[in-house]
Amino acid sequence: MSKGRLEAFSDAVIAILITIMVLELRPPESADWAALEPIIPVFLTYLLSFIYLAIYWNNHHHLLQATTRISGGVLWANFNLLFWLSLFPFATGWMGLNHFEPIPTAVYGGVLMLAAIAFYILLLVIIRAQGADSEIAAVLGSNIKGKISPFIYALGIVVSFIQPWVAVALYVLVAAMWLVPDRKLERAFNA
């Protein structure tokens, strides 16, 4: 399989996920400003999830631009990532509709954590397919953000049972860390 086909399929899945999430944003039945208040948590959760999907799409794009060989392992690792991303609409809707209650907030963090681990696995499998001495392996180096993100999510999951808003702040912190894609990849491969 060519990397173009893999990237196009992944792009389509992410676009569908965003579409599913936006369909959960139901307009209020009345036409006054007060009617928007109950849907603020739903909108904020959607916004955070939209940003996360944009981050994954962007980093996935840069990673595949730097990839020269697609193996069967890369295909399965990519499907693993897409599986966890496909749970974003469920976790987003549940947390938003329940106004950041502890269990939905913990589940949201769990989905974020498992998606981050899946992306890290995809990265490792791609590096293995390219070779340990490949340029992509040298450029990505230690990947500190990729290694610490799951631990921040795990902390957020635990904290969600004590103070859900602090957990959400931790999830926002990780998103802020990833807003700018890895410049090393961009410079090395002009992606």
Return contacts of 160-166, CB within 8 angstroms, 24+ apart.
Answer: 160/102, 160/103, 160/105, 160/106, 160/109, 161/102, 161/106, 164/100, 164/101, 164/102, 164/105, 165/100
Instruction: Locate 171 and state its tokens.
Output: 């999830």
pLDDT at 90: 97
In the predicted model, is pLDDT for residue 181 greater than 70?
no
Helix residue spans in 24-163 (DSSP H)? 40-65, 72-86, 88-97, 102-130, 135-140, 144-159
Mean pLDDT for the chain overall: 91
Tokens 């893999």 sit at which residue? 6
pLDDT at 142: 76
pTM to 2 decimals?
0.91
Residues 6+ apart with CB under 8 A from 124: 77
> How many structural domains are present in the chain?
1
- The percent of residues above 90 in pLDDT, for the chain, comes to 68
Least confident of 1-5, 63-67, 179-183: 179-183
Quote the domain boundaries for residue 106.
3-189
- The percent of residues above 70 in pLDDT, for the chain, comes to 94
Q: How far apart are the first and last CA of the chain?
A: 20
Q: What would the pLDDT profile of 93-137 be if each residue is shown by its tens digit?
A: 999 999 999 999 999 999 999 999 999 999 999 999 988 788 888
